[in-house]
Amino acid sequence: MDFGLSEAHIMLGRTLRQFVEREIIPLEREYPGAVELPDEALRPVEEKVKAAGLWQPAVSVELGGGGIDKIGLAVVTEETWRSVLARNMTGPRVNEYLYYDSDLIREKYLMPTIRSEKRGATGFSEPDAAGDVAGITTTAEKVEGGYVINGGKIWSSNAERADYVAVLARMKGTERREGHTLFLVDRGTPGCTYVRTIPTLGFALFGEWHFQDCFVPDSQRTTPEGGAWSVAQARWTTARYLFGAQSLGLAGRCQDMALKYVKTRSTFGQPLASRQAIQFMLAESEIGLQAIRALTFQAAWKAEQEMDVRHDASIVKVFATETGTQIIDRALQIHGAAGYSTDLPIEVHYRTIRGLRIADGPSEVHRMVVSRNILRDV
């Protein structure tokens, strides 16, 4: 089994790193502590990304993207997450449900999202079903010409800027794990209320939605009735092993900063790099990075071979986010007070990776999944 990087993957990673260092990292000084670029700064960056041929690398060439494979997607994710401000620079995420076989979905949602003319939010989690999506209570009732949605969604990613939200609802009258169906609801639709943007330590602009007798036409259902579970599982599986690549980007940059710092900083007449305590901290971080990389790219390779990687994805999610947190914490400690300040990006990397340990299922849920899998045949 060889899940090493090809020359094309290496070149892609090198090009992205140079772009991030040239175009994005200087913006960190203009927006200290920020987790996203404002539109007036993001739009010029997007144009530069397009000119560099880096736009929507995971979208097919036929639809205007780069057509990279799943290993390449891990490469892109790692490099764009070396700066929190670069996370979305290659274009909005194009989720699986936008590829539904519908001309209206394609023209109204898919293509505008690919071009960054529209932005979407996800509406999966609920106040009483954040880590247990099978237990959602938002309902969709079939009526003439469409569906009526009632319920609420919370921790909706990208919600504040979204033009539409993908709402996971259960067909009225169905039981747990049954009837899950996905709908695209335009912002401003009668009965669809954006409640608030949720203040957080960082990471993303999460929001809350409420739906009361919200009518959605048949044409905006983006899975068969009861067919959303497999679509959601596919999205979560990809997202979860990519948490490894995100952690590599966040933690790898902080490790690089720590290595540079200890070679130039002296205390009590001795360079920091000469002190065994510092050497051991850096060694532990390097070991952690290598382990994250191996697990992440093994999962990406398996996914490219169309193997079932749900078990691997949960392992990557837990190990990468927790180990990455430790690596960033060491880098912050090595930098001392400067690492704790917004003068350096370490603090925002720390806040961001802390959120990754909760997003798309907290570590405890994924440990339950892993233990259930390994005990199944015992």
In this prediction, residues 292-296 reach a mean pLDDT of 96
> 228-252 burial by CB neighbour count: b if 16+ within 10 A, else e?
bbebbeebbbbbbbbbbbbbbbbbb
Structure-token pair, residue 126: 């609920």
Strand, coil or helix: what is 120? strand
Does this chain's domain 7-97+108-114 share its CATH topology with 120-222? no
Is the domain 229-375 a CATH 1.20.140.10 member? yes
CA 297/CA 62 separation, integer angstroms: 26
Give the start-to-end residue ranges of the domains of the chain.
7-97+108-114, 120-222, 229-375
CA 203/CA 183 separation, integer angstroms: 26
In this prediction, residues 87-116 reach a mean pLDDT of 90
Query: Are 335 and 344 contacting, i.e. CB atoms less than 8 angstroms apart?
Result: yes
Q: What is the pLDDT of residues 145-173, one digit of tens each?
A: 999 999 999 999 889 889 999 999 999 98
CA 300/CA 9 separation, integer angstroms: 13
| Phi, psi of 341, deg, nearest 5 | -95, 165
What's the pLDDT at 135?
A: 82
What's the pLDDT at 10?
A: 93
Q: Identify the bridge partners of residue 211 per DSSP, sorted by sequence position.
A: 151, 192
CA 24/CA 7 separation, integer angstroms: 25
Is residue 370 predicted with pLDDT exceeding 60?
yes
> 310-336 burial by CB neighbour count: b if 16+ within 10 A, else e?
ebbbbbbbbbbbbbbbebbbbbbebbe
Is residue 1 predicted with pLDDT exceeding 70?
no
CATH number corresponding to 7-97+108-114:
1.10.540.10
Query: Are 209 and 166 contacting, i.e. CB atoms less than 8 angstroms apart?
Result: no
CA 159/CA 122 separation, integer angstroms: 8
Q: Answer yes or no: pTM beyond 0.75.
A: yes
In this prediction, residues 346-364 reach a mean pLDDT of 93
Confidence of residue 194 (pLDDT cuts 50, 70, 90): very high
Is the domain 120-222 a CATH 3.40.50.10090 member? no
Query: Are 213 and 148 contacting, i.e. CB atoms less than 8 angstroms apart?
Result: yes
Q: How far apart are the first and last CA of the chain?
A: 27
